[in-house]
Chains A and B, each alone.
Chain A
Amino acid sequence: MRIVVLGSSVYSETACAMAVRLAGCGHVPVGALVLSTFERGTLLRKLAQWGVRDVTRYARRKLIPNHGNAQGIVHNSYLQPWLKNGSGIFRSLRGVAAFYDFPVVVGTNQNAPDSIARVRQWSPDLIVFTGGNILRKPLLDVPRLGVLNVHLGLLPEIRGMSSPEWSLLKGVPVGVTIHYLDAGIDTGPILRRYEFTDAAGCDSLTDLRNRLIAFGIEKIGEVVASLDQGAITAIPQTDSDTDNDKDKDNQFFVMHEWLRARATERLTQSRIGAAAERMHG
């Protein structure tokens, strides 16, 4: 199967791990299309998300390979199994691409005509999306099967942003959904839903997110294998997100820190509950 990986940056750990995972399943990507790291919008978004100190630290770690621990440190330690490369780590998608021999193209917009033309040249059966722009129809229509996404929540109940946090607050199971992207926000046909049963083992929301990302990358191997064998059918989501009907709308938005703090409390409670169960069990 011919697979293209889309990523938010050449330094995206998720994109690197995904490419390695696919290669490990016998599907070395035929190409990768990533956004430019120093694009103003991306940089500002990262600054707002992480703060100046963390962004500087992260950039230094990525750009100066010998800085710090010679073994390499990864932002999401749960991706380490895929990012390990002998005694070092894959620091960028270029490293992964050099190792497995596939091209990496850097652009400022994945929906731009030249980006789409480039992807079309690779004649993909499947695109695996790990980050970047909200994809528009011209790009979604390029691959024969569709564009796969790992959503960090169980669809169709929890769509949109901050899905793990909203799952915790709403008291619904935490998990990942592997689905095709369509024009809506997380409304495309579902291939597989996987409940994540070890949320109680996470010590923070960041830890939970990191583990869910790794969990999703692990599971995508199964899905791609099933797709390759024609052993899996995508199931359309039962409700539509195209109208304004609030009752049918399961979209969630970026969570404010006050609510995030309450979601963290939920996580702590479940950890305490699990520990108590172990003690008494």
Chain B
Amino acid sequence: MNLSSELKQGITASANTDIPATSKDNARIQNAVTDQVARGLKEVTGLLRGPQRVVPVIRKLVSDKIHLTLEQRHLYSYTTTKRDSRDVLQSLLQWIIEAQRSDGGIAAYYSLLAGYSKSYPEVTGYIIPTLYEVARVTKSDDAVVAAEKATQWLLSLQMSNGSFPRGLDGETQPSVFNTGQILQGLVHAHRETHRCEIRDAAIAAGNWLVAMHQADGSWSGRGAYQGVAHTYYSMVSWALAELSEHTADHRYGEAAERNLDWVLSHFRPSGWIDGINLSGHPNFLHFIAYVLQGVLECALLRRRKDAIEAVAKSAWVLMRKFETSKFLPGAYEADFKRGHSFTCLTGNAQMSCIWLRLFEVTGDLRYLNAALKMNEMLKQIIPANGRPGIAGGVCGSYPVWGLYQPLRYISWGCKFLADALLMEQRLTHALDAYGFEALQCAS
């Protein structure tokens, strides 16, 4: 989710090839920093417009400070279930439904300073599969209605070339990443509803993505965030691979694999992935997890063992870090060094999804074990009650003032935690039904 900078950042400056590389980089960094300052100021003024939010802000800041001071992380912190996953799933769904705006889009976040944001196309797109899955498990009609409204809003946003726009403020610049994330939602929505216009929209989006593909397999230049290629666009490959499966059109699958090869060339022997390439941001766990999740899911669809093994290696390094310190830093420097002191809750939930998928693929129970503990930690952190926007919400960071989406409850955090809990339920029920022997045979 490029939200922080995509809101303001244009692509023209960095896409201009007449500017020398270092000047371009400096310009990118400057733009990113300016954007962050502007965003911060805008949110602070939000508190002036809504003084009733002062109390929740102070309460959250104090509560996180107290927890940080008194909390003792140890080996047994997350090994027992203190909150039922079904209840948490229900409250996550409630948060998402409350975050749905009148236009049908899902707000990107609830800011403790400024309240709900406007509808955000990217997150509205890839929250759709989660809503349908929650509906299936909880038998919630509300989730189906929310998914249908979200789909309808997205259809109204699609540009004539098939792409979807970046940002929150009705921008008209097309975005590769957002189009890919929305494509995921469209494919699932068509699977559920069989509506022709959704299928046509998905195909148009897929065609645009294929047309924007560079010869080396990346997406850069026009349509790419900050004008440069990013390895976390593996999420786009995943969406294309899904479209390929769904439409039986091999062109999308081939494009997905070209990007997969490009991303795989950025994996280091240490498991670290280069090319996240976000100027003005540290390497947030959220983006690292995006790379891994995109590669893994794409690899599973395209039956690429080499890619699964590459992801397993990186995921193992992170799992080991989590197991030995009960904490995954919210951002790392290269080779997973110098982890920051805050944690990125969305990245944690994404890692749980990745470990659960790897468990499913490899049968290695240690992945399941780590995911169960990670889910437990996340369940313990999210607020059980509070006003709409807070109750059941997932903060960007823990503590709330951490660098990733500070002072915000973010919709994609709820999405990934819901995904992780849904997957946990599916796999634990399957294990109870078919037993570990079946698992050993499978693995």
Chain A residues proximal to chain B, CB less than 8 Å: 40-41, 44-45, 48-49, 161, 166, 169-171, 244-246, 249, 251-260, 262, 266
Contact = CB atoms under 8 A, between A and B. Distances in A.
Contacts of B76: 45, 48-49, 254
A259 B312 contact: no
Contacts of B366: 252-253
B44 interface: no
Contacts of B369: 253, 255-256, 259
Contacts of B303: none
B230 to A, nearest CB: 24
B373 interface: yes
Given A41-B72, A45-B76, A246-B312, A256 B372 contact: yes
Nearest to A258: B372
B17 interface: no
7 contacts: A41-B72, A45-B76, A170-B365, A246-B313, A253-B369, A258-B428, A260-B79
B270 A244 contact: yes
B81 A254 contact: no
A169 B317 CA distance: 23
Nearest to A45: B74
A259 B370 contact: no
A249 B317 CA distance: 11
Contact of B79 (A166, A254, A266): A254
A249 B312 CA distance: 13
Interface residues of B, number: 30
B328 to A, nearest CB: 14
B75 A44 contact: no
Contacts of A256: 78-80, 369, 372-373, 376
Nearest to A253: B323
Nearest to B79: A256
Given A244-B271, A255-B79, A258-B81, A171 B440 contact: yes
A52 B79 CA distance: 17
Interface of B: 72, 74-81, 270-271, 312-313, 316-317, 320, 323-324, 365-366, 368-370, 372-373, 376, 428, 431, 436, 440
A44 B77 CA distance: 10
A48 B316 contact: no
A259 B77 contact: no
A257 B80 contact: yes
Contacts of A44: 72, 74
B42 to A, nearest CB: 42
B365 A169 contact: yes
Contacts of B428: 258
A246 B81 contact: no
A244 B370 CA distance: 17
B436 A262 contact: yes
Contacts of A48: 74-77
Question: Which 10 interchain pairs have the tightest Cβ spacing?
Answer: A253-B323, A256-B372, A246-B316, A48-B76, A44-B72, A254-B75, A257-B80, A256-B79, A45-B74, A256-B369
Most buried by B among A161, A257, A260: A257
Nearest to A166: B365
A262 B316 CA distance: 23
Contacts of B320: 244, 249, 251
B316 A259 contact: no
Most buried by B among A161, A166, A258: A258
A49 B372 CA distance: 18
A258 B85 CA distance: 13
A160 to B, nearest CB: 9
Contacts of A254: 75-76, 79, 323
Nearest to A160: B323
A51 B181 CA distance: 45
Nearest to A249: B316
Nearest to A251: B320
A150 to B, nearest CB: 19
Nearest to B374: A256
A166 B79 CA distance: 14
Given A45-B75, A246-B316, A260-B79, 16 more contacts: A44-B72, A44-B74, A48-B74, A244-B317, A245-B313, A246-B312, A246-B313, A252-B366, A253-B366, A254-B75, A254-B79, A256-B372, A256-B376, A258-B81, A259-B369, A262-B431
Contacts of A171: 436, 440
B79 A257 contact: yes
A47 to B, nearest CB: 9
A38 to B, nearest CB: 15
A169 B368 CA distance: 13
A255 B372 CA distance: 10
B424 to A, nearest CB: 9
A156 to B, nearest CB: 16
B318 to A, nearest CB: 11
Contacts of A169: 365, 436
A169 B320 CA distance: 20
Contacts of A266: 436
Contact of B81 (A41, A45, A253, A257): A257
Nearest to A170: B365
A185 to B, nearest CB: 9
A40 B365 CA distance: 32
A260 B369 CA distance: 10
A136 B372 CA distance: 31
Most buried by A among B72, B77, B78, B81: B72
A262 B437 CA distance: 12
Given A258-B81, A259-B372, A244 B313 contact: yes
Nearest to A168: B436
A244 B316 contact: yes
B269 to A, nearest CB: 8
B75 A161 contact: yes
